[in-house]
Structure 1
Amino acid sequence: MHKISIKDVAKKANVSITAVSQILNNKGDRFSAETIKKVLQARDELGYVPNSAARNLKVRHSRLIGIIVPSFRMPFFADIIQSMQDNAPEDVNLVFIGSTADNLQSSIYSLVERGVQALIFGRPIPNRDVVNAFLKKRHIPYLVLDQNADINAQDMVQTNEFTGGSLAASHLLSLGHRDIALILPNDLTDNMRQRRAGFLDTLSAANVTPISVISAALSKHGGLAVVHQLIQSQATAAFILNDEMAIGVLRGLTWQNVKVPEDISIVGYDDTDYAEFVVPSLTTIAQPVAEIGQSALNMILQRLAHPNLPYQTAFFDVKLVIRESTAQLSTDQ
């Protein structure tokens, strides 16, 4: 099947290729309204779609940035992606890839083959020395989010995860809870270890030890799967290190006729977009996701413009968002 080209549009409109190019790129001020109308009508009738890849080759200072995240299904990373898209300059093209630990290196190679000039990692990096050497040899700078706190990257965006865990513990303690469970992912990233540390340190300062520590898959189904363990622990409250898991726990508790927050209080983490819409709405620790995405993109563009900049870091605070899933401990419990 013949692919419609700019030549076809020019022929149908009976104008030059240059005229079509300028009009379709919003540079056709010198042409009459009638000529512009003919070109646009020809484009629409033929179904012509500009070749963005070819056009980008002609853009003198176009920059291609690759962003690797663990999953597009997780709202936290979806919000970061949206933030980057909203804040990307016109001459910057973003390529997003969802990658597991097993295929991370092949994802990196694929992006490098496509010509990316810099990378942003929104997921943990295994084989860090190998990845660092590969990118350094090819002069490709990269930035990491705080899932990689101990990697030797030039630039990093972090949030105050320790304080986030501490806020969760302080909130539950202030409501009178002492029999508190901790639910965490099977594989902890660096930032989640900080959440856990802040939570445990604050409990310890109040002479409280978690009544149960439960591991699960980092997903809604993972949270759902450990509800029986949570109920058996007889905890009156639980801190869950991720909203995805917390949503699964809320659903499982409902199926078991356990009332939240009357029977048990639940605190999540991330304040993803649906946390305020579930029933009951979820008390959680909010991260400034839009600012994180914008900052990461700005920093990597700064690195591209000025390769010899000193180490760049951005550090964001978190806050407790109190909703319906937590309440004062009942005297009957």
Structure 2
Amino acid sequence: MRKISIKDVAKQAGVSIAAVSQILNHKGQRFSEATIEKVLQAQNELGYIPNSAARNLKGRHKRLIGVIIPSFRMPFFADIIQSMQNSAPEDVNLVFLGSTDENLQDAIFSLVERGVEALVFGRLIPNSNEVNIFLKKFHIPYLVLDQNADINAQDMVQINEFTGGSMAANHLLALGHRNIALILPNNLTDNMLQRRAGFLDTLSTANLRPKKVIETTLSKHGGLAAVKQLIQSNSTAAFILNDEMAIGILRGLAYQHIKVPNDISIIGYDDTDYAEFMIPTLTTIAQPVAKIGETALKMILQRLDHPNLPFQTEFFDVKLVIRESTGPVKHYQDNT
């Protein structure tokens, strides 16, 4: 469907394009309240938002794609951004915004007002139905990564998260660990629910449950804060659902003079840039981050070029990257 233009608003309101432009740019003092109301009503009914960016641009048109992520501080999303920038065609501009749950709607509106033609969500959409209605009204297609089990999105990139959680469990079991802690964020996105499910399912096949389940915030500081509970659990290994938290845990264990992996094995998830530079280097489940970002951008551009395409989905596998932070369980440890 074509995007609504200022001409459409003028036609529906029965006024000139110049009148619409002045009213929507807050320069319509000379017009009657009835005329202003007609223009605003037509704008709302048609789903038209003035492109403030376009007013300042001249020359060859570039497609503007918005990307919303939870934080610029997380290396995983920084890598996604970099891969999208590296693969963007010359006629595409990308604009990135970090957003909390509380300001997500403001972030979306800001990007739409700036003239984005499509959106990529690299974060959870807590009110997906409202977002879908809003974006559909303004004819903005969007793609989601697998933080969302969103049936309204036209396109999705998915990762085999269940298998990733299973790989982590199998690795620790193969090393002889039976007292295994699970450390996870206190707000689980859909993809992390799948990681947890794969991990628990594999433990269950070995007639095991986690020695301790610890919830904390999704950050290095959250990992650091979980260390006391981890030590008290007497676990011989821990699976952490995110490398950010795993890095905090490694630091906290070092503060307590607990050796990894001699005293406890640690495995993370994502294989972010920091993982191979930690001491010890971090065993983790790797996602093909560069490919994820590149593919997401390619898919949303295909949607713009062919609006009536059927639902698009891409599915990527993960792999276990074994480094120094995991090792065999020690015989002297309590494995009851």
TM-score normalized with structure 2 length: 0.82
Instruction: Specify the alignment match of 1:153 in structure 2.
Output: 153
Superposed CA deviations along residues 100-146 of structure 1, whole A, max 9, x for unmatched, are 00000000000000000000000000111111000001110000000
SS at match of 1:257: coil
1:134-193 residue CA offsets vs partner (Å, 9 max, x unmatched): 000111000000000234200000100000000000000000000000000000000000
Q: Secondary structure at the match of 2:153?
A: coil
Q: CA deviation at 1:54?
A: 7.3
* Partner SS, residue 120 of structure 1: strand
**Paired residue type of 1:228:** K
Counterpart amino acid of residue 312 in structure 1:
Q
Tell me the CA shift for residue 330 of structure 1.
Answer: 1.1
| 1:310 corresponds to 2:310 | yes
**Cα shift readout 1:10-54 (whole Å, capped 9, x = no counterpart):** xxxxxxxxxxxxxxxxxxxxxxxxxxxxxxxxxxxxxxxxxx977
| Distance in 1 (alpha carbons) for counterparts of 2:261 and 2:135 | 49
Aligned to 1:176: 176
Tell me if structure 1 keeps the 8 A contact 2:54–2:115: no
Name 1:58's counterpart in structure 2: 59
Q: Determine helix, strand or coil for the equivalent of 1:146.
A: coil
**Using the alignment, how far apart are the partners of 1:228 and 1:126 within structure 2?**
31
Give the alignment of 1:106-185 within 5 angstroms: 106-185=106-185
> Which secondary structure does the structure 1 equivalent of 2:100 belong to?
coil
Map residues 1-333 of structure 1 onto 2, 5 A cutoff.
56-60=57-61, 62-333=62-333
Deviation, 1:56, is 4.8
Q: What is the rounded CA distance, in whole Å, between the counterparts of 1:54 and 1:140 in structure 2?
A: 19
Aligned residues: 281
CA distance in 2, matches of 1:198, 1:117: 37
Q: 2:37 maps to which residue? A: none
Name the CA shift for 1:55/1:300 in 2 (closer, same or farther; >3 Å). same
Q: Secondary structure at the match of 1:147?
A: coil
Aligned alpha-carbon RMSD (Å): 1.2
* Unaligned runs of at least 5 residues, structure 1: 1-51
Q: Which amino acid aligns with 1:154?
A: Q
**What letter matches 1:186 in structure 2?**
N
Q: 8 Å contact 2:164–2:195 — kept in the other structure?
A: yes
Residue type of the alignment partner of 1:140 = I
1:45-82 CA distance string (max 9 Å, x none): xxxxxxx977854214x200000000000000000000
Query: Amino acid of the residue matched to residue 183 of structure 2?
Result: I
User: Structure 1 CA distance, aligned partners of 2:150 and 2:111?
Assistant: 24
For the residues of structure 2 that align with 1:187 and 1:151, how far apart are their CA atoms? 21
- Deviating beyond 3 angstroms after TM superposition, the runs of 4 or more aligned structure 1 residues are 52-57
Partners in 2 of 1:155 and 1:88 — Cα distance?
Answer: 18
What is the distance in 2 between the residues matched to 1:54 and 1:260? 57
Classify the secondary structure of the residue corresponding to 1:148.
coil
Q: Is the 8 A contact 1:128 1:151 kept in 2?
A: no
TM-score normalized with structure 1 length: 0.83
Contact 1:142–1:153, Cα closer than 8 Å, also in 2? yes
